[in-house]
């Protein structure tokens, strides 16, 4: 069920919220759990069982680990828990990749399993893993109530595309929370902003990308128009989803952490990854990078740690070599910055370092969205006129003229400028304007949804 669908906004959410608000506190988690399972069942009927198995397994492992912290038995249970979690993720997400890789290396013809990918499996697997690890470390109290832990795992606002919410972030709120008028109001505003990002900007950029893929024209201009459009699309698509998730969390009394902080204003790749998909970056930092030794090891091991983290980051995003290459590329760039470019970038004018970051980011997203490595090299070559393709063509000029304004709006909207301007409004006018503006965004978005086509969130594939 898409957040940006009429069914979700005007049927599911419109039904769940009133029921949730009038339900006594001691039963609110039950309402959330039931509604979250219905939400997931709507898109993945069979895979609801996988969600429940994942919750039950980690609940049982943690119950066993908690009273045995510091013992070999606890460590063995933790290892087994990680094997179970990763086995489920590997089977459902990477089975085809592993089989096809074996076939290509050995020349075999093993049939691909063709297992459907459960929506959001990467997100809820990382959440359950972090809970069990935190219990083992003593950073989280074990949750003895299975329904409460399952509610945490299944929370529909962030279930299928993040942000990756850790148990320690919401443990207190799972036990005691309240939905205030202010919280509901700010949540609705945040949800409206996210809906507008997705429907009014991301979907429009998706039209450019779709036109490029379906066109026979190949020109340098069209490749760059596609690359810029996808860079805008993926930011507004994913940050829009995060905004809606955070907004609904506020309505329900939860305070989810931010997932984006204007990454396109970064002046280094290091800064970019501190601002982009922050819940994933911090997850890999806390559960992979630091346990490997972080930067408190020899330089050789430090390089290894960074390489491991970024190859895994790429692989987490998708079961294809272009994702692994994409992650490895960022790992390499981060190492180059740390060893060579860091001091140079600090001395450069801000505009130059910003151009460097955006150039790299745009190229990286071309690799990210390519059809395998062959498609990645083909698309990268097209950006620089490989195979003698012309600089422009009639279609590329048409789409540039047609979408120039939305592209400019998207570029400006990815910076803090709109927020700065909004913040300059005086308190009185803002109090009147905000509900009017948010209502307008929801109404216009609804009109676009009615007249538009189905366009799922990009990160649903993960």
**Would you call 109 a catalytic residue per the annotation?**
no
Whole-number pLDDT of residue 380: 96
Given a cut of 90, is residue 162 above it in pLDDT? no
Q: Quote the mean pLDDT of the chain.
A: 91
Under a CB-based contact definition with an 8 Å cutoff, are residues 179 and 251 in contact? yes
Whole-number pLDDT of residue 179: 81
Q: Please, what is the end-to-end C-alpha distance for the chain in angstroms? A: 15
Catalytic pick among 30, 109, 277, 317: 317
- Alpha helices, H only, 143-196: 146-154, 167-175, 181-196
Distance, in Å, from the CA atom of 138 to the CA atom of 68, rounded to the nearest integer, reads 11
- Residue 454 pLDDT grade (very low, low, confident, very high; cuts 50, 70, 90): low
Under a CB-based contact definition with an 8 Å cutoff, are residues 201 and 281 in contact? no
Q: Where are the domains of the chain?
A: 6-177, 183-461
- Residue 427 pLDDT grade (very low, low, confident, very high; cuts 50, 70, 90): low
Given a cut of 80, is residue 411 above it in pLDDT? yes
Given a cut of 80, is residue 457 above it in pLDDT? no
The residue behind tokens 């290459």 is 325
Distance, in Å, from the CA atom of 320 to the CA atom of 339, rounded to the nearest integer, reads 29
Q: Could you give the dihedral angle defined by the CA atoms of residues 439, 403, 450 and 199, in that order, rounded to the nearest 10 degrees?
A: -50
- Residue 362 pLDDT grade (very low, low, confident, very high; cuts 50, 70, 90): very high
Given a cut of 60, is residue 62 above it in pLDDT? yes
Whole-number pLDDT of residue 426: 66
Whole-number pLDDT of residue 89: 92
pLDDT, one tens digit per residue, over 363-402 is 999 999 999 999 999 999 999 998 889 999 999 999 999 9
> Span 8-24, mean pLDDT?
93
Q: What does the DSSP assignment read for 83-135? A: HHHHHHHHHHHHHHHHHHHHHHHH---PPP--PPPPTTHHHHHHHHHHHHHHH
- Residue 443 pLDDT grade (very low, low, confident, very high; cuts 50, 70, 90): very high
Whole-number pLDDT of residue 5: 86
Whole-number pLDDT of residue 139: 94
């Amino acid at each position: 069920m898409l957040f940006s669908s009429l069914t979700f906004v005007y049927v599911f959410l419109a039904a769940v919220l009133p029921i949730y608000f009038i339900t006594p506190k001691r039963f609110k988690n039950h309402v959330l759990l039931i509604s979250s399972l219905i939400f997931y069942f709507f898109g993945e009927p069979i895979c609801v069982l996988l969600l429940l198995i994942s919750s039950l397994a980690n609940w049982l492992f943690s119950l066993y680990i908690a009273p045995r912290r510091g013992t070999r038995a606890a460590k063995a249970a933790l290892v087994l828990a990680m094997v179970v979690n990763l086995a489920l993720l590997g089977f459902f997400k990477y089975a085809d990749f592993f089989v096809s890789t074996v076939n290509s290396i050995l020349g075999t013809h093993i049939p691909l399993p063709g297992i459907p990918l459960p929506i959001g499996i990467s997100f809820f697997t990382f959440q359950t893993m972090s809970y069990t690890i935190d219990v083992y470390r003593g950073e989280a109290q074990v949750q003895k109530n299975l329904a409460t832990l399952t509610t945490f795992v299944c929370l529909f606002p962030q279930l299928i595309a993040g942000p990756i919410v850790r148990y320690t972030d919401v443990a207190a709120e799972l036990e005691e929370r309240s939905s205030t008028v202010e919280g509901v109001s700010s949540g609705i505003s945040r949800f409206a902003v996210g809906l507008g990002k997705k429907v009014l900007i991301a979907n429009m950029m998706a039209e450019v990308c779709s036109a490029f893929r379906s066109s026979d024209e190949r020109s340098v201009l069209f490749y760059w128009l596609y690359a810029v459009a996808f860079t805008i699309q993926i930011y507004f698509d994913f940050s829009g989803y995060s905004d809606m998730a955070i907004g609904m969390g506020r309505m329900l009394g939860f305070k989810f952490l931010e997932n984006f902080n204007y990454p396109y204003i970064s002046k280094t790749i290091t800064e970019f990854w501190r601002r982009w998909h922050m819940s994933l970056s911090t997850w890999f930092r806390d559960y992979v990078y630091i346990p490997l030794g972080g930067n408190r090891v020899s330089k050789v091991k430090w390089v290894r740690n960074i390489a491991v983290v970024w190859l895994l980051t790429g692989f987490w995003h998708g079961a294809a070599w272009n994702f692994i290459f994409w992650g490895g590329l960022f790992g390499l760039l981060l190492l180059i910055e740390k060893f060579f470019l860091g001091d140079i970038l600090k001395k450069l004018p801000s505009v130059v370092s910003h151009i460097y970051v955006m150039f790299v980011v745009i190229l990286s997203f071309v690799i990210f969205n390519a059809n395998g490595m062959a498609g990645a090299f083909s698309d990268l070559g097209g950006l620089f006129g490989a195979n003698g393709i012309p600089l422009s063509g009639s279609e590329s000029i048409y789409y540039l003229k047609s979408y120039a304004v939305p592209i400019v709006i998207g570029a400006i909207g990815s910076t803090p400028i709109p927020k700065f301007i909004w913040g300059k409004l005086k308190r009185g006018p803002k109090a009147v304007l905000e509900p009017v503006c948010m209502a307008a965004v929801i109404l216009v978005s609804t009109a676009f949804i009615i007249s538009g086509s189905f366009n799922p969130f990009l990160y649903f594939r993960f």
